[in-house]
């Protein structure tokens, strides 16, 4: 803690400010910050003054601090404590913030730069200022000098309000938290199969019919049989609601981009207005998740409808962008539609993918005539490039790379780094989620610019975005739990870019930042003390190590199945594994456990810890356990495929070579495959196992359950085993993920 000068101590005693605090916690980290030794007394009646153009920033700081504001050079104004000044040498969101004995100086060349400085100033104030009951009295601000600017111009967060609808108050809270973390774009997913969420006067059935569904799926999409709650569900935002949210965001320097998802994901539209479908189709507002055949028919009446809809919507959103979706558009109806087939022939299109490109181009031209540009998910590239589109790359980075190489702008939001509806912990007690596994550290390591782009191409990567899809998030608290703290990690990846701190530094700041989240009543996930384990095969014998994200913690463990106590062994070196072992562990602080109980069962077998070679390598999104995960004695989760034990392969057949070290009597090989078709995951077609000098034993795999267990008879004395897994192949067009390769997920190879 810094020394506290006597004169300032007297000031604080007089004005009632708090005692000085440790170095401030600034997230995302400032690019350049120098902290001094003294403090400035920010008194309760401190005046905030501003030069022309920066009034909004001053008003926002006044709102956060309950301090008065006034224009600079007002002859009657008292001495000011905070001065907002224009500095034309600073461009974009670049700002400088200095605090010394004379007060607070904030300089920027734009109001958005000043607004970012306001959020930094907010982080220098006591956490108690965030609570509604705080009187926001005098406070000691550390002397500090900051020069800061973002690495990327587009730093977005998304919120899906179609699957579950959230009140205006929560949307504003979400945006304010975004502002605190210096995000500058709110992507508002307003329409989808499960509901239309924006008021429309000219087509009122979009609200009376399209905004409400009969009931909602209970449990996971893959559960069989499916269960429903039997309760009507819905709602929509009035135009006044939309205006209130947009103005709230504008005051914080955040652009609101609406998404109207077309031509697919249109069940809610077509339930209200079936005449915009292809012939003789009837749709309902969807009561479950996934992908549906509902798709707008590209006929003149449809484009007239969309033109009228956009004429109502666009005045509500000052953004230059409109997101039109374009993803997961099932084209089965187009194949069967005489109008669609005639359009394909008339316009010399090759297929239905080029028909989608035709649809997208028509909408792009429509919006261009209204002064707007479109953003679309990367599927809109499949029928050809549009020179009027910005690509949002979600199925990996390939779509963004293709766009950048073609001279188009792109925003990176790959599932493997940016989908916050994925699990963030391998704990079985985590709330139900769609699947996948995206831990905090991986989010922090996100780099929106892929390898292989030159300088000119990289300039087309505008930035990145975190996505919060809400199929399994039905309350504001659930959204917060999945978004935080991953949103904080993403903010630093996008703001600081290559100049970000290391992950250790980040989690140490995050541990202290939790106090501010508590003051803001954010229901964040707290996994910093969560114990994680890793199997080691590089030592002389198989072993297991324990760690937490926060380094230097006291982890105590047992290997006999008992719960650790403050007297149990402290983990200091890898634990040898020579037999079936159950490891349990807890983090202790002053002999008190502060973590959840960690438990890992390790079952040894003939292949345990042996040499294994996998070809091709697992997909980078599902390879954290590496090939050794197949022979480490640890089975993957029964509920999800995204942990470190399941290895994932996208569209590849898989060859595995296993060296047992010496000739061994082998009777069987057992393994498991995940089968979750709604998430593009399919058990493979066949598995074959070949021992030395023998013909392969081939088994056809049945796909009746989510977990598919196979047991292959071998009955041979062998040193080597060769395993071949033939994947499912391409997913049929009419199913979720249609037209794309299926994923294969493989668990432990148990040799007996």
List, by residue number, the catalytic residues.
Answer: 192, 265, 328
Report the alpha-carbon distance of residue 49 to residue 60 in Å, rounded. 12
Write out the DSSP string of 610-624.
-EEEEESPPPGGG-T
Contact 621, 652 (CB under 8 A): no
- Residue 584 bridge partners (DSSP): 558, 599
Helices marked H in 407-561 — which ranges? 415-418, 440-444, 455-458, 476-483, 486-496, 503-519
Long-range contacts of residues 130-137, Cβ cutoff 8 Å, at least 24 apart? 130/516, 130/519, 130/520, 131/519, 135/44, 135/66, 136/44, 136/65, 136/66, 136/67, 137/15, 137/16, 137/17, 137/44
Which of 549, 530, 602, 539 lies closest to 573, judged by CA?
539
Q: Taking every pair of C-alpha atoms in the chain, what is the biggest distance, in angstroms?
A: 98
Q: Is 741 helix (H, G, I), strand (E, B) or coil?
A: strand
Write out the DSSP string of 87-154.
-TTS-TT-EEEEEETTEEEEEESSHHHHHHHHHHHHHHS-GGGGSTT-----EEEEEEEEEE--S-SE
Q: Which two tokens mark 96?
A: 């400088």
Report the alpha-carbon distance of residue 103 to residue 558 in Å, rounded. 56
Cα 571 versus chain centre, distance: 33
DSSP β-ladder status, 592-593 and 532-536:
unpaired
Report the alpha-carbon distance of residue 434 to residue 283 in Å, rounded. 25
Report the alpha-carbon distance of residue 522 to residue 514 in Å, rounded. 9
Query: CB atoms < 10 A from the CB of 385, how many?
Result: 16
Q: Which residue has the tokens 């070679």?
A: 613
Query: CB atoms < 10 A from the CB of 176, how many?
Result: 18
For 329-365, b where at least 16 C-beta lie within 10 A, e where not — what string? bbbebbbebeebeebbeeeebeebbbbbbbbbbebbe
Contact 277, 297 (CB under 8 A): yes
Contact 439, 482 (CB under 8 A): no
C-alpha count within 13 angstroms, C-beta hemisphere, residue 679: 23
Contact 706, 712 (CB under 8 A): no
Which positions ≥6 away from 632 have C-beta within 8 Å? 535, 537, 542, 602, 608, 609, 625, 645, 748
| Phi-psi label, residue 358: left if phi above 0, alpha if psi -120 to 50, beta otherwise | alpha
Report the alpha-carbon distance of residue 275 to residue 326 in Å, rounded. 20
Report the alpha-carbon distance of residue 483 to residue 424 in Å, rounded. 10
Q: Is 334 helix (H, G, I), strand (E, B) or coil?
A: helix
DSSP β-ladder status, 389-393 and 373-377:
parallel
Q: How many degrees, rounded to 5, is the angle at CA 592 between CA 586 and CA 597? A: 25
Which positions ≥6 away from 421 have C-beta within 8 Å? 433, 434, 436, 467, 468, 469, 470, 471, 472, 473, 482
Which of 114, 119, 106, 100 lies closest to 41, judged by CA?
100
Contact 65, 125 (CB under 8 A): yes
Q: What share of the chain is helix, strand, coil (3-state, %, to 5)?
A: 25, 30, 45
């Amino acid at each position: 803690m810094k020394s506290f000068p006597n004169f300032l101590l007297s000031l604080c005693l007089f004005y009632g400010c708090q005692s000085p605090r440790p170095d401030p916690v600034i997230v995302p980290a400032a690019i350049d910050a120098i902290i001094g030794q003294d403090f400035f007394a920010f008194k309760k009646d401190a005046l905030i003054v501003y030069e022309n153009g920066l009034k909004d920033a001053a008003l926002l700081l006044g709102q956060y601090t309950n301090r008065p504001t006034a224009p600079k050079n007002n002859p009657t104004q008292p001495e000011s404590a905070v001065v907002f000044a224009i500095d034309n040498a600073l461009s974009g969101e670049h700002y400088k913030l200095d605090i010394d004995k004379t007060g607070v100086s904030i300089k920027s060349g734009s109001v958005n730069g000043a607004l970012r400085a306001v959020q930094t100033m907010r982080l220098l104030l006591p956490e108690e200022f965030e609570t509604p009951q705080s009187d926001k009295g005098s406070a000691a601000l550390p002397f500090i000098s900051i020069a800061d600017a973002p690495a990327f111009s587009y730093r977005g967060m998304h919120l899906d309000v179609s699957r579950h609808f959230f009140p205006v108050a929560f949307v504003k809270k979400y945006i304010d938290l975004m502002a605190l973390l210096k995000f500058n774009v709110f992507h508002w997913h307003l329409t989808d199969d499960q509901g239309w969420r924006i008021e429309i006067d000219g087509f009122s059935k979009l609200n009376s019919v399209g905004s409400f569904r009969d009931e909602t799926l209970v449990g996971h999409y893959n559960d069989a049989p499916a269960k429903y709650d039997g309760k009507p569900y819905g709602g929509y935002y009035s135009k006044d609601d939309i205006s209130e949210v947009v103005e709230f965001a504008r005051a914080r320097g955040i652009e609101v981009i609406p998404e109207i998802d077309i031509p697919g994901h249109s069940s809610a539209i077509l339930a209200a207005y079936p005449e915009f479908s292809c012939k003789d189709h009837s749709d309902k507002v969807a009561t479950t998740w996934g992908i549906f055949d509902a798709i707008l028919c590209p006929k003149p009446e449809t484009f007239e409808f969309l033109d009228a809809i956009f004429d109502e919507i666009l005045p509500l959103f000052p953004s230059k962008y409109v997101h039109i979706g374009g993803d997961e558009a099932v084209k089965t109806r187009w194949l069967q539609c005489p109008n669609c087939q005639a359009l394909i022939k008339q316009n010399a299109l090759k297929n239905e993918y080029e028909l989608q490109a035709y649809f997208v181009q028509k909408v792009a031209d429509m919006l261009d005539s209204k002064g707007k540009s479109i953003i679309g998910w990367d599927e809109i590239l499949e029928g050809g490039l549009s020179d009027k589109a910005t690509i949002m790359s979600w199925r990996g980075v390939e779509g963004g790379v293709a766009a950048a190489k073609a001279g188009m702008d792109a925003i990176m939001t790959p599932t493997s780094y940016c989908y916050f509806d994925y699990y963030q912990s391998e704990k079985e007690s985590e709330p139900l989620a769609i699947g996948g596994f995206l831990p905090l550290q991986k989010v922090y390591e996100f780099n929106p610019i892929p390898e292989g782009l030159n300088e000119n191409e990289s300039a087309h990567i505008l930035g990145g975005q975190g996505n919060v899809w809400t199929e399994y998030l039905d309350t504001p608290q659930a959204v917060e739990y999945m978004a935080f703290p991953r949103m904080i990690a993403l903010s630093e990846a996008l703001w600081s870019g290559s100049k970000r701190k290391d992950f250790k530094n980040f989690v140490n700041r995050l541990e202290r930042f939790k106090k501010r989240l508590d003051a803001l009543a954010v229901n964040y996930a707290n996994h910093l003390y969560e114990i994680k384990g890793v199997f080691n095969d590089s030592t002389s014998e198989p072993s297991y190590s324990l760690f937490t994200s926060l380094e230097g913690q006291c982890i105590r463990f047992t290997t006999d199945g008992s719960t650790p106590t403050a007297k149990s062994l402290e983990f200091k070196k890898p634990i040898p594994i020579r037999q079936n072992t159950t490891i349990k562990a807890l983090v202790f602080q002053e002999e008190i456990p502060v973590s959840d109980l960690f438990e890992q069962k390790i079952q040894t077998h003939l292949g345990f810890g042996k040499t294994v070679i996998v070809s091709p390598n697992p997909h980078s999104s599902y390879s954290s356990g590496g090939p050794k995960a197949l022979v480490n004695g640890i089975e993957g989760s029964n509920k999800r495929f995204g942990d470190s034990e399941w290895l994932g392969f996208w569209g590849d057949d898989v060859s595995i070579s296993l060296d047992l070290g010496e000739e061994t009597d082998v009777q069987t090989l057992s393994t498991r495959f995940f089968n979750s078709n709604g998430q593009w995951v399919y058990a493979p077609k066949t598995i074959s196992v070949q021992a030395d000098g023998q013909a392969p034993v081939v088994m056809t795999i049945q796909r009746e359950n989510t977990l598919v267990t196979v047991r292959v008879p071998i009955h041979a004395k062998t040193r080597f085993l060769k395993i071949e897994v033939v994947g499912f192949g391409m997913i049929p067009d009419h199913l979720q993920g249609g037209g794309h390769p299926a994923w294969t997920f493989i668990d432990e190879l148990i040799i007996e």
